[in-house]
Chain A
Amino acid sequence: MNENKRKRASIFRTIQRAVNIVYLAGHVKDLVFVSVWILIGALTSYTAVLNAEFLNAAADFVVNGNQALKSVIFWLLIWGGAELFLSVMDIFADRATGRMWVQIGYFVEKRVLGKVLKLKLSYFDDVEVQKKISLVKHGFTGKISGVVDLSLYSLKSAVSFGTALLILISLNWKIACIVFAATVPTLWLSRYQTEEEYKLNQWNSFEGQMQRYLALVLTKRKYVKEMRFYQLYDYVEQKYDQSVNKVYGEQIKLTRRFLLLSVLTNLLVYGSVACALAMICMDIFSGKSEIGSFMLVYSSVNNMRNYMRQTYQNINRVGSDGRYLEDYEEIMNYQEEKICGSSDNDEDVEITFEHVSFRYPGSDREVLHDVNLTIRQGEKIAIVGENGSGKSTFVALLMGLYEPTEGRILVNGKNLNEQLSFLRDRVSCTTQDFLHYQGTINENIEIGDLRHSHAESDIQNVLQKVHLQDYVDALEKQGNTYLGNLYEGSIDLSGGQWQKLVIARNLYKDQAKIMVLDEPTAALDPVSESELYSEFANLTADKTVLLISHRLGAAKVVDRILVFDDGSVVEDGTHSSLLGRDSLFAKMYQAQAQWYVNQSI
């Protein structure tokens, strides 16, 4: 795994990046405000001094009686007042930070979402990019706000640490030295340990993700048929057990590895604490210090150790969480799809492929090879070929989702890149793995054409055309019924119904000049399929049609057939001309037709 070897981000750069985000989100004022509160909070260490003064006064009071009363009360009020002040301050600081970070988290999520929606499609085929994007998705926005938070808190803990150290030095510099020196090894150890834990977590997140998947497989309805019939529960459960045990084993191994070391380093630390306390006792006995100093040393030593550790850990975490900020910056720099070109005019569309070849990013297999053809307005074209011969990729290129590796695609003589807006506006396209959008039935149709306004009757109209109107009318909420399982009261459609709905979605874009249908009838029964093709001419009117289908009987309704084989267009002609000769199409056609035409088989 690459992540393991990845270095920490530079702390300076990280803070710079984080502050930049705060700036962009428009929270600079809040940041200043929060910083001030936090730094005031750093005075916590100093209250120990006031506490010691109070204790001294109390000791004095025990010995000398009422004449010391004033000073006891004075120090009590000062100390208690300071503590009270700080705890009130906490309310403001916590509120302000809380509010700020929640808002910045939202801001970052918003920006990332906006960006990902515009990314070029090719990024989604790149495994590395996918990893980054999925990292972004899994709670990384919290990390970004955390980085600024952490930087501020490391400042706070640094100040608190400094205060505690100064207090100790002023009491007895030797104590300060001993405790400081004894704390260093634990810091070194903790750095080492956090780094190891980071690695383990990277690995765990894979196992955790797998465990979540396995839990779904074990319990969700979707899997029940196979799981039950093939009796897979024990097998999958074993996989789950193994993964859980593996994670446990690794965690224990790590803890064990550090257990002895941490015992030893802690022994050193507490030895130094014992020394410090003994030394201050000696000072008290020799009259150099008062009794309050004992408590002061006791709390300052603890403060110093704690804040020293915190400062160190915070700074380290800024470094390791900074990696998320690097990813964020990288994602924000990815290229976006440029949707440009005018889209107002109602002219015809002619598309030309010139020597187009294509490989998916990161693959060296040519999925399309030297494709040359022109699609004129109004042509009805069927695209046929074996699974994996490049048909769907051809459509993806035609939609401008990918750019050709070689050659070019022209729309009305201009490069497709410059005509993307025009093209997308003029094409209604239904892919094989179409979107089962979890909105209402009406919405599912509306998303077919969001750019133009439509009359309400348009929806009824297209539902009618695909023979779904009766079904929808019979529903309690009709077109406003939600599909899927996201909302209360949602229903689900059968495969055949979904397919009809998606065809309706395609038809809804009535201003389209080109209609692309990829396997529109795979889930339809013979009668519904036949209905669709009978009405084909009526439904498509004067639009250009690209129909991809394995059901070659449908090729009859078109006037041109493109046959793809292994990425190339090997045949291009009419139904009768292709059948007339010894073509691949004829072979495929007969393979299917023999079941219907021949008297004996």
Chain B
Amino acid sequence: MGDNSMETFDPEKLRLDRTVIFWGLKWAFDIDRWTLILWTVLFSVNAVVPSVFMKITSDIVDQISQNVESGSGIGAVYPRLIALVCVMFFNIFMGSIPNIVMKRLDTKYSIGMQRRMCEFMKKVPVSYFDDPRTAKIMSMAQKDERTLGEFVQSFFYLLYNVISIVSVLVLAFNTSFVLLLVAAVFILCSVPIGIYGAKRDWKSWVGASEYWNIAQYFQNLAFKAEYAKEVRILGLKDRIFQKWDEQRKKALELEIENTVKTTSVWSMVGVFGNIMRLLVMFAAIALLRVGQLTLGGLTIFFSVFESVCGSCSSIGYDIMNLYRISCDLKFKKALFELEFDREKKLIEEADGSCNVPEDAVFACQNVSFSYPGSGEVLSDLSFQINKGEIVALVGENGAGKSTLIKLLLGLYKPDRGSLYFHGVNYETLDTETLVKQIGVVFQDFVKFDFMVRENVGFGNVSEISDDAVIHQALEKSMASHIVKRMPDGINTYMGRWYEQNGVRMSGGEWQRIAAARAYISDRDIMIMDEPAAMLDPIAEMQQFREIRQSFRGKTAILISHRIGFARLADKILVLDQGRLAESGIHEELMENKGIYYRLFSEQARWYEGSECDE
């Protein structure tokens, strides 16, 4: 993706990108062609209706005036009257159908869009989120899932207004050349005015949105329950109010300026139309005099302007809207066209995997890794974890422990070196194989605003509706008693993002429920990153006990700042600044007097001098 293709929405340079528009329309067409065609037809027909109205009315007026003059009966007028009423009725009826059709399309587009986004999310390398450049494209492209619907809509509104103007011009041409000329001049003048107005509108909107975003943050600090306590303890109310007011006032000024100016621009088109109409009516009187215009034609003269005025001011807005949305769409196009340059590393399959013994669950050979734009987090790491081993991963904050876990889960690919799972290179593995065998608790586990059942069952979606399995997992993670207290048991919603009756949990409670994700369906390999950070000492001990008992015969990797647990491990790996500094069992490492010794004794000294009697 070239940098210039990534330009953001800038109201100043209005340029519609044809490839994006075709791409969007094609996509919409692929999702549901028949509804789209139906909608196009309905829209076009409706656009012509106002002209038909004018025509029929003028005919009726003509007929009445002729018949009154010639003294013939009223009967001849009835068919046209009925036609007029039929068109009115048709208009109302047809007016309500596009609504239904549009809702249908909107629904299909939202789903279609989200589906495509999902397919993308499934395969985009996780590291793209860490790279500021790609991360920006992604966040821009993911902004709105209704873009396609809005795009199609704005495209059709433009089409609608263009068709209705054209049909009115045809009618004007049929009536009098003078009318056509004046109307055309009016359109040529007022469309640019409309675009100018729309430009102003968007510009101030774009300008104000930055202020709005910041103001919104401060408003949230005040409104959200999770901040309420801190706001009061720190006495932040004046600070928050002032910060909000600062931004909100700037937005307000822009808003006022904008409302005043844009409404003027819109109304100007109306005033301008009125003046032109007055002028053209003088011409009409002249034409009437020389017999080139009938009374009915006269009615067309004045209604044409009413209709054109409306369409003209909307066209400017429509064009602007289409431009804005096609800018959003451009991001989506760029996103979906991203090629993940998975430089298929030359996998030394034949020889490489031979070196790895079969019973090694995880094997790391000279692995190095760095996040985009930063130094190496892991350097030249080699180790092996065998079946049935419990491994403690130890190190200071920032030593690379959590990153290593992400590599072992296949979420990141090493920059150099090779990783093997059961003797198979990660390059040839799919996540499926890993998920089936590994249960994991992340340090910064996600607190899904879903039911307890889902928060636990996400460990293995195929068993999400099996109550017994969920309960069992909760039991193992010592969360049963928490769930028992909840109003709807495992079907209780957690968090209040959308479900106002959701329950709020403390950190310790959340941690237990999230840990159940790893325990579900009894996997052979367990990875736990800081599973006890928020647990009380008793729960912590129970957890370690549980790990010791239920992990017999299983492979496990544990990370914890509560370093005493490392004594449980069959093997301790000590990371220091991305390197494997030490490895061995507790006693060996203590004798070594290296990093592990230092970490352990730093914590142990707080418990010294209070030997407990067994």
Contacts and interface: CB of A to CB of B under 8 A. Distances in A.
B515 to A, nearest CB: 13
Given A118-B237, A229-B434, A248-B103, A218 B121 contact: yes
A234 B497 CA distance: 21
Interface in B70-107: 73-74, 77-78, 81-82, 84-85, 88-89, 92-93, 96, 99-100, 103-104, 106-107
A32 interface: no
Given A233-B121, A533-B606, 16 more contacts: A76-B281, A83-B274, A117-B241, A226-B446, A228-B121, A232-B461, A255-B99, A271-B85, A285-B67, A396-B229, A435-B227, A495-B397, A527-B599, A527-B602, A528-B396, A592-B541
B564 interface: yes
5 contacts: A109-B248, A225-B446, A294-B60, A588-B538, A591-B541
A262 B96 contact: yes
Interface in A65-121: 65-66, 69, 72-73, 76-77, 80-81, 83-84, 87-88, 90-91, 94-95, 98-99, 102-103, 106, 109-110, 113-114, 116-119, 121
A125 interface: yes
A337 B232 CA distance: 9
Nearest first, the 9 A-B pairs at minimum CB distance are: A595-B564, A553-B606, A387-B508, A98-B259, A596-B604, A209-B498, A80-B278, A591-B541, A117-B237
A477 interface: no
A281 B81 contact: yes
B68 to A, nearest CB: 6
B538 A241 contact: no
Given A233-B118, A291-B64, A530-B606, A225 B100 contact: no
B226 interface: yes
A119 B225 CA distance: 11
Contacts of B142: 215, 219-220
B533 interface: yes
Interface residues of A, number: 163
Interface in B564-587: 564-565, 567-568
Contacts of A266: 89, 92-93
A91 B99 contact: no
A334 to B, nearest CB: 13
A483 interface: no
Contacts of B432: 231
A212 B143 CA distance: 11
Given A231-B461, A284-B68, A553-B607, A62 B232 contact: no
B291 to A, nearest CB: 8
Contacts of B281: 76, 80
B22 interface: no
Interface in B237-271: 237-241, 244-245, 248-249, 252, 255-256, 259-260, 263-264, 266-268, 270-271
A218 to B, nearest CB: 6
A273 to B, nearest CB: 6
A365 to B, nearest CB: 8
Given A127-B500, A224-B126, A232-B458, A58 B238 contact: no
Interface in B96-142: 96, 99-100, 103-104, 106-107, 110-111, 114-115, 117-118, 121-122, 126, 129, 135, 138, 142
Nearest to A136: B223
A209 B502 CA distance: 14
A168 B571 CA distance: 96
A294 B84 CA distance: 13
Nearest to A429: B233
Contacts of B221: 435
A46 interface: no
B223 A385 contact: no
Contacts of B103: 248, 251-252, 255
Interface stretch (A147-155, A194-202, A444-452): A444-452
A410 interface: no
Contacts of B458: 226, 230, 232, 235
A207 B509 CA distance: 27
Contacts of A348: none
Contacts, number: 427
B206 interface: no
Given A234-B118, A270-B88, A281-B64, A55 B271 contact: no
Contact of A523 (B241, B252, B295, B533): B533
B278 to A, nearest CB: 4
B435 A229 contact: yes
Contact of A401 (B115, B233, B277): B233
A536 B88 CA distance: 84
Contacts of A231: 431-432, 435, 461
Contacts of B15: none
A248 B107 contact: yes
B225 A125 contact: yes
A73 B285 CA distance: 8
Contact of B77 (A84, A273, A281, A519): A281
A211 to B, nearest CB: 8
Q: Which of A113, A213, A232, A298 has the most CB of B within 10 A?
A: A113
Contacts of A169: none
A412 interface: no
B264 A113 contact: no
Contact of B288 (A62, A94, A244): A62
Interface stretch (B44-52, B211-219, B310-318, B383-391): B211-219
Contact of A525 (B266, B289, B396): B396
Interface string A585-601: 01111111111111001
Interface in B271-291: 271, 273-275, 277-278, 281-282, 285, 288-289
B285 A103 contact: no
A240 interface: yes
A559 interface: no
Contacts of A251: 103
Nearest to B401: A525
B461 A127 contact: no
A237 B260 contact: no
B231 A241 contact: no
A524 interface: yes
A274 to B, nearest CB: 4
B68 A450 contact: no
B337 interface: no
A241 B610 contact: no
A235 B461 contact: yes
A73 B283 CA distance: 11
Nearest to A496: B397
B545 to A, nearest CB: 10
A522 interface: yes
A556 interface: yes
A232 B233 CA distance: 39
B448 interface: yes
Nearest to A110: B245
A278 B64 CA distance: 11
B540 to A, nearest CB: 7
A250 B449 CA distance: 24
A137 interface: yes
A244 B111 contact: yes
Interface stretch (B349-357, B420-428, B437-445, B469-477): B437-445
A349 interface: no
A550 B535 contact: yes
Interface in A284-305: 284-285, 291, 294-295, 298
Nearest to B279: A80
A431 interface: yes
B437 to A, nearest CB: 12
| Residue of A98, A130, A217 with most partner-chain B CB within 10 A | A98
Nearest to A120: B232
Contact of A91 (B117, B263, B538): B263
A538 to B, nearest CB: 17
Nearest to A272: B85
Nearest to A125: B225
Given A519-B534, A533-B606, A588-B536, A595 B285 contact: no
